[in-house]
Amino acid sequence: MSQLSYARYGKDNVRLYKVDKDPKTGIHTVVEQTVRILLEGDIEQSYTKADNSVVVATDTQKQTTYILAKQHPIDPPEQFAAIIGDHFIKTYPHIHAAHVKIIQHRWTRMTIDGKAHPHSFYRDGEETRVIEAVTRENVGVSIRSKIEKLLVLKSTGSAFHGFHRDEYTRLPETWDRILSTEIEAGWQWKLFKTVDELKSVDFNAAWKTARDITLKTFAEDDSASVQATMYKMCDLILAAVPNVEAVDYSLPNKHYFEIDLSWHKDIKNTGKDATVLAPQTDPNGLIQCTVTRKGIKSKLSEMKADRDTVLYTHKTMPPKYMTGKGRTVQEPSFAASTISMFTSKENRSIVTAAGMFAVRNLSED
């Protein structure tokens, strides 16, 4: 027998543009967004019984987005996402959750002859402002704000040395290198019980604060590693925006490699003489972290709890078997090697996702 275990549907890539025109000054303000809506609720019969009576058509969702955009401000996008979600929860009793994602595209006002132009704009890069909101019936609105596709580079002020070395390590240490990355930063807001609660929050100021902190820290930090720099960014944002509970970054390395030109007339272009370099695409490093306020459960504490559970089980069960919450492992050699991989000092830094899955399986039903 089979059963439907997951169902969510909606409208994606709803392109939206809105212009606000000030009749007194003649100044226009424009906002362009791409909206995605996904609905959850009592919709199982549309999948299992071909009964469409519970389906709020995706075209209806698109048209609703346009109508709500006419009736309400769409900036800040956090508030507009909450308005959309609230509409579907309150309008359709069988819909219990609405997932709304908004990508806000950049339009920057032109400066002509030293003056801001009233109605002309240009796109200064592919950076986007992204909002992910989930509205749940009788729960509230969960909102995550993000910066994506913000490409940055500094030509010095970054080092990487003192890292673990073994027989697999070829990377040389460096005390001065180029640091470049495409910033993806997100911050999770406290749970809002109602849409009205959002009105007291200055989301635009918070977004600017997070962006300014990101750029200032990137530029000014004498970076010992991407890890150390991104942690400082998270810590500063949490201190600056009280309603934010967690901040996360995902930073891929954009590598620039020296080119040895000594073969041609002994040109010096390595080390301190390197001025011509080759930008690389892949493979690349990818560094991620999430920093939360104290008291909020972290992934690291969950990982430690899993490890401690496995270690306790390993020490207390008979040699032939290992049991974790009703599960029996009949190959202690596999379990022991997994534990060794996770806890060994030499290998602690290279635990893989597959390894973590193996460890978690020992302690979960």
Query: What digits encode the pLDDT tens for the residues 178-226?
Result: 999 999 999 999 999 999 999 999 999 999 999 999 999 999 999 999 9
Same domain, 346 and 211: no
Binding-site residues for urate: 58-59, 160, 177, 226-227, 253
Q: What is the pLDDT of residues 272-324, one digit of tens each?
A: 999 999 999 999 999 999 999 988 776 666 666 665 555 554 444 444 434 34
Q: Are residues 212 and 351 in the same domain?
A: no
Confirm whether 348 is domain-assigned: yes
158 found inside a domain = yes
Q: Are residues 264 and 242 part of one domain?
A: yes
Last residue of a domain, one of 261, 292, 323: 292
pLDDT at 240: 98
Q: Which residue has the tokens 């060994």?
A: 344
Encode pLDDT of 43-78 as tens digits.
999 999 999 999 999 999 999 999 999 999 999 999
- The catalytic residues are 11, 58, 255
Count of domains observed in the chain: 2
Within-domain flag for 321? yes
Of the three residues 292, 310, 332, the one that is the final residue of a domain is: 292
Q: 258 and 125 in one domain?
A: yes
**pLDDT tens, 349-360?**
333 333 333 333
Whether 2 is covered by a domain: the verdict is: no
Higher-confidence residue: 352 or 28?
28
- Is 231 inside any structural domain? yes
32 touches 24 (CB < 8 A) = no
Residue 200, in any domain of the structure: yes
Question: Are 176 and 249 in the same domain?
Answer: yes
Q: Which amino acid is at 163?
A: F
In a domain, 149, yes or no: yes
pLDDT value of position 301: 65
Identify the domain boundary among 230, 261, 292. 292
Residue 1 in any domain: the answer is no
* Position 331 pLDDT exceeds 50: no
User: What is the reported pLDDT for 1?
Assistant: 87
**Is 100 found in the same domain as 80?**
yes
- Identify whether residues 205 and 283 lie together within a single domain: yes
Q: Are 143 and 211 contained in the same domain? A: yes
Report pTM.
0.81
Query: Which of 40, 244, 37, 46 minimizes the C-alpha distance to 137?
Result: 40
Alpha-carbon span 175 to 223, nearest angstrom: 10
Closest C-alpha to 234, from 190, 186, 189, 298: 186
Domain range for 213? 9-292
Task: Enumerate the known binding-site residues.
Answer: 58-59, 160, 177, 226-227, 253
The CATH number assigned to the domain holding 154 equals 3.10.270.10
pLDDT digits (tens, 9 = 90+) for 253-276: 999 999 999 999 999 999 999 999
| Averaged pLDDT score across all residues of the chain | 87
Same domain, yes or no: 192 and 336: no
Pair 245, 335 in one domain: no
Tell which phi-psi region holds residue 295, choosing left (phi > 0), alpha (psi between -120 and 50) or beta: left
At 357, list the tokens: 């899955």
Residues 314, 232 share a domain: no
Residue 185 is predicted with a pLDDT of 99
In the annotated binding site for O2, the residues are 253
Query: How far are the Cα atoms of 80, 169, 227, 240 from residue 75, in angstroms, in the given order?
Result: 7, 49, 33, 22
Angstrom CA distances, 326 to 123, 312, 340, 356, 363, stand at: 58, 15, 22, 19, 9
Based on the domain organization, do 163 and 213 belong to the same domain?
A: yes
pLDDT at residue number 309: 53
